[in-house]
Amino acid sequence: MDSGVSALDQFQQQLNVIGNNIANVNTAGFKSADVEFANALSQTVGSNAIGSMQVGTGVTTSEITNQFTQGAINTTGVQTNMAVNGNGFFLVKDPSSGQTYVTRDGDFSVDTNGFLVTSTGMRVQGYTDSSHGTVGDIQISNAGAPGGDISAVQSYTFDSSGNVNILLADGTQYTSGQVLLQNFTTPTQLLSVGNNLYSGLTNAGPLAAAVAPGSNGLGSLVTGSLEMSNVDLAGQLTSLITTQRAYEANTKVITTSDEILQDTVNLIR
Residue 266 — very low, low, confident or very high, per pLDDT cuts 50/70/90?
confident
Containing domain of residue 35, as a range?
A: 2-68+239-266
Q: Are residues 153 and 196 in the same domain?
A: yes
Q: How would you label 229-243 residue by residue, b for 16+ Cβ within 10 Å and e otherwise?
A: bbbeeeebeebbeeb
Q: pTM higher than 0.95, yes or no? A: no
Q: Are residues 63 and 25 in the same domain?
A: yes
Q: Are residues 63 and 80 in the same domain?
A: no
Q: Are residues 220 and 107 in the same domain?
A: yes
Q: Are residues 12 and 29 in the same domain?
A: yes
Vertex 262: Cα angle to 260 and 266 (nearest 5):
115
Summarised one tens digit per residue, pLDDT across range 40-92 is 877 777 887 777 887 878 899 999 999 999 999 999 999 999 999 999 999 99
Summarised one tens digit per residue, pLDDT across range 164-177 is 999 999 999 999 99
Distance, CA of 43 to CA of 125 (rounded, Å): 54
Q: Quick check: is 233 in a domain?
A: no
SS3 of 126, please?
strand
Q: Are residues 25 and 77 in the same domain?
A: no
**Based on the structure, what is the number of domains in the chain?**
2
Q: Are residues 28 and 113 in the same domain?
A: no
* Residue among 120, 117, 81, 102 at smallest CA distance from 226: 81
Q: Are residues 61 and 78 in the same domain?
A: no
Q: Quick check: is 125 in a domain?
A: yes
Q: Are residues 99 and 214 in the same domain?
A: yes
> Taking a C-beta distance cutoff of 8 angstroms, is the pair 173, 145 a contact?
no
Distance, CA of 251 to CA of 106 (rounded, Å): 44
